[in-house]
């Protein structure tokens, strides 16, 4: 859960209106199977037209989370995610993919594209200029934590059967490739660089991949000290085969704030002039994301500074018109659960939080990780995970929308 909003960040519309709309949606959906949950109605907001919100993949009795989306050169749209899960933390997560051949209107069934012996999570996907697809994800053993294992003895039994060396080899950050638009994939390859980010690397205009992510570092150096989160940046000029660390630590202006668990899950977008704009999930009490900018291809960055956007984690999309769109989930009852978007008209220097866009309200905070792709018709498709109604596990949902001029 993200911290309470304590500094008056912008809201999509007054809380009573948001609550009333959410209640209307949930009343309409109550009683139906997740896959049959009705679309949320078309809505006009100050800076956006919401065309529809609907379920695009549901796995009965199973949990889906942490998606990414990509529109391919062939016209298909693919979304990757962690599916076939018990819950938010479990050993069973698999990287799965769904495909749309009609611009996101309809979707095929889920296909498992990667499954290690550990929990596979947070898949990212990007297409290279030559058509090759790059899929990234990381594995987790969070299910070993006492608070989960005590409630799930089957997790302990499963973990006890794993070969220790095999489990150690399976823990980390992985990459797989496809040369046929995602029909088949290469065996996973473990990457040496350890920056974690939920949506994977982004493709820059020069054809290289840039990854901004989180790593843990001992504040006293390798020999000891308190562990803290560090945001760092790497680049690959050979489609992810090798990586160069461009910036070992993006600086911060948060002063003496405890950084042991402060910065997480960043994302970056390249503007038309080559400027890189990054946003970072931040666990400070204000609940607002931090922003940073690079003017030299990612080697140096401005100190991370507080933005007015309250939510987590960010995903950025630079539009051809010059606007920059950030989407994010909000897991606080105040100012309201749901998926939101905010627009910058000046390359990320300021954000129009007064006209924050509500993409999809929710009744609870088990949601988020929205990611966007620009469709052929100029609309935006934002995918995320969320419960379509109370009493069912989260599924994969999407909102199709347009930015208003």
Reported as half-sphere exposure (CB side, CA atoms, 13 A), residue 304 has a value of 26
pLDDT at 34 over 60: no
95 forms beta bridges with 82, 114
pLDDT tens digits, one per residue of 308-359? 999 999 999 999 999 999 999 999 988 889 999 999 999 999 999 999 999 9
Query: So what's the pLDDT on residue 19?
Result: 37
* Model pTM score: 0.89
Q: How confident is the model at residue 39 (pLDDT cuts 50, 70, 90)?
A: confident
Query: So what's the pLDDT on residue 15?
Result: 37
The better pLDDT of the pair 37, 9 is held by 37
CATH architecture of the domain with range 62-191: 6 Propeller (2.120)
pLDDT at 118 over 80: yes
Lowest mean pLDDT among 22-36, 82-96, 119-133: 22-36
The domain spans of the chain are 1-60+311-405, 62-191, 204-307
How many Å apart are CA 224 and CA 219, to the nearest integer?
7
């Amino acid at each position: 859960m993200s911290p309470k909003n304590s500094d008056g960040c912008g809201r999509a519309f007054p809380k009573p209106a948001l609550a009333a709309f959410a209640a209307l949606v949930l009343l309409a959906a109550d009683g139906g199977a997740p896959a049959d949950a009705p679309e949320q109605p078309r809505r006009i907001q100050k800076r956006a037209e919401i065309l529809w919100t609907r379920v695009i993949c549901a796995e009965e009795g199973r949990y889906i989370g942490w998606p990414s989306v990509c529109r391919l050169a062939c016209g298909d749209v693919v979304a990757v995610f962690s599916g076939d899960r018990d819950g938010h933390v479990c050993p069973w997560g698999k990287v799965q993919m769904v495909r749309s051949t009609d611009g996101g209107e309809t979707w095929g069934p889920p296909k498992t594209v990667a499954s290690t012996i550990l929990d596979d999570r947070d898949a990212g996907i990007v297409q290279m200029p030559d058509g090759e697809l790059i899929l990234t994800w990381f594995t987790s053993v969070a299910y070993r934590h006492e608070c989960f294992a005590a409630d799930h003895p089957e997790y302990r039994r499963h973990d006890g059967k794993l070969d220790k060396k095999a489990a150690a080899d399976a823990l980390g950050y992985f990459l797989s490739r496809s040369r046929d638009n995602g029909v088949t994939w290469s065996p996973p390859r473990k990457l040496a660089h350890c920056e974690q980010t939920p949506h994977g690397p982004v493709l820059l205009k020069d054809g290289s991949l840039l990854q901004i992510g989180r790593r843990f570092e001992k504040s006293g150096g390798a020999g000891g000290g308190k562990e803290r989160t560090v945001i760092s940046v790497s680049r690959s000029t050979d489609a992810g085969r090798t990586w160069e660390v461009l910036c070992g630590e993006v600086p911060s202006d948060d002063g003496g704030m405890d950084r042991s668990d402060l910065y997480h899950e960043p994302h970056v977008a390249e503007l038309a002039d080559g400027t890189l704009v990054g946003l970072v999930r931040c666990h400070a009490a204000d609940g607002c994301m931090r922003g940073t900018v690079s003017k030299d291809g990612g080697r140096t960055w401005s100190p991370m500074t507080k933005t007015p956007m309250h939510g987590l984690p960010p995903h950025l999309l630079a539009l051809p018109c010059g606007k920059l769109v950030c989407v994010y989930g909000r897991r606080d009852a105040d100012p309201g659960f749901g998926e939101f978007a905010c627009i910058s008209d000046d390359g990320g220097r300021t954000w129009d939080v007064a006209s924050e866009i509500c993409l999809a309200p929710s009744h609870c905070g088990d949601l988020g990780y929205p990611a966007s792709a620009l469709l052929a018709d100029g609309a935006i498709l934002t995918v995320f995970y969320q419960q379509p109604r109370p009493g069912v596990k989260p599924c994969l949902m999407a909102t199709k929308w347009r930015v208003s001029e």
